[in-house]
A and B are shown apart, each in its own frame.
Chain A
Amino acid sequence: QVQLQQSGPGLVKPSQTLSLTCAISGDSVSSNSAAWNWIRQSPSRGLEWLGRTYYRSKWYNDYAISVKSRITINPDTSKNQFSLQLNSVTPEDTAVYYCARQGTYTSGWPIDFWGQGTLVTVSS
């Protein structure tokens, strides 16, 4: 059973960088049959896919256009985890952030396992 454990601060000041980490158990960040995502949820924006990283002989990243200029998702193979960095945050980035796995056992790549969620508040 895949388990995802998130960690990181719950309060970030405006204009600073939001950083979260997602530790994986039961799978590998380097798996050729998975992709590793960040998704956020807020009352104003609902559920919003932010981006993903995955390995297929080399590392790939995809990012949502809404955050593409501010986001970085990095794998850490030594610790079997991946991270989210979102730069220049504003109060609009306040949300519950989830890490999640996509299983690539079907061509639809469903998001099948989620972390516990981290409420991140952007406030001075």
Chain B
Amino acid sequence: QSALTQPASVSGSPGQSITISCTGTSSDVGGYNYVCWYQQHPGKAPKLMIYDVSDRPSGVSNRFSGSKSGNTASLTISGLQAEDEADYYCTSYTSSSTLYVFGTGTKVTVL
């Protein structure tokens, strides 16, 4: 089972919006609405930001939003803030025997 493909890095200035893509196949991202997004700061555990493609857990800022089109899911961060600088990972349920596959990760830099 190959990892989901994400851009290695994305950057933006404070206040701008950025979008991170997560590309899989019809066996994972395209086949199920079970995509999650995680934020990970250095040395910390991942934090759930989006689940089921576009739902936000309680306490997560509405500046974070998710969507999906075909085999590609996306995370958009609007009104970029310094605290958003972190690594971001997508994950999806997959019909393969592995059950869950993670993305390669994207480093977000706030300029």
Are A and B genuine complex partners? Answer: yes
* A interface residues (Cβ-Cβ under 8 A, vs B): 46-49, 62, 64-66, 98, 106-112, 114-117
Residues of chain A lying within 8 A (CB to CB) of residue B34:
107-109
A46 engages B3 (CB within 8 Å): yes
Contact of A108 (CB < 8 Å), options: B51, B89, B97, B98: B51
Q: How many residues of B are counted as interface, with CB atoms below 8 angstroms from the partner's CB atoms?
A: 27
Residues of chain B lying within 8 A (CB to CB) of residue A48:
102
A46 engages B104 (CB within 8 Å): yes
Q: Is the interface of B mostly helix, strand, loop or mixed?
A: loop
A62 engages B52 (CB within 8 Å): no
Which residues of B40-65 are within 8 A (CB) of A?
45-48, 51-52, 55, 57
B91 engages A62 (CB within 8 Å): no
A108 engages B93 (CB within 8 Å): yes
B91 engages A111 (CB within 8 Å): yes
A114 engages B46 (CB within 8 Å): yes
Contacts A106-B51, A108-B33, A108-B93 given; does A114 touch B99 at CB 8 Å: no
Minimum CB distance partner of B1 in chain A: A65
A108–B51 CA distance with the chains assembled, in angstroms:
8
A64 engages B45 (CB within 8 Å): no
Interface string of B82-103 (1 = CB under 8 A from A): 0000000101010011111111
Residues of chain A lying within 8 A (CB to CB) of residue B89:
47
B105 contacts partner chain A, Cβ-Cβ < 8 Å:
yes
Contact of B97 (CB < 8 Å), options: A65, A98, A106, A112: A65
B77 contacts partner chain A, Cβ-Cβ < 8 Å:
no
Residues of chain B lying within 8 A (CB to CB) of residue A66:
98
A49 engages B105 (CB within 8 Å): no
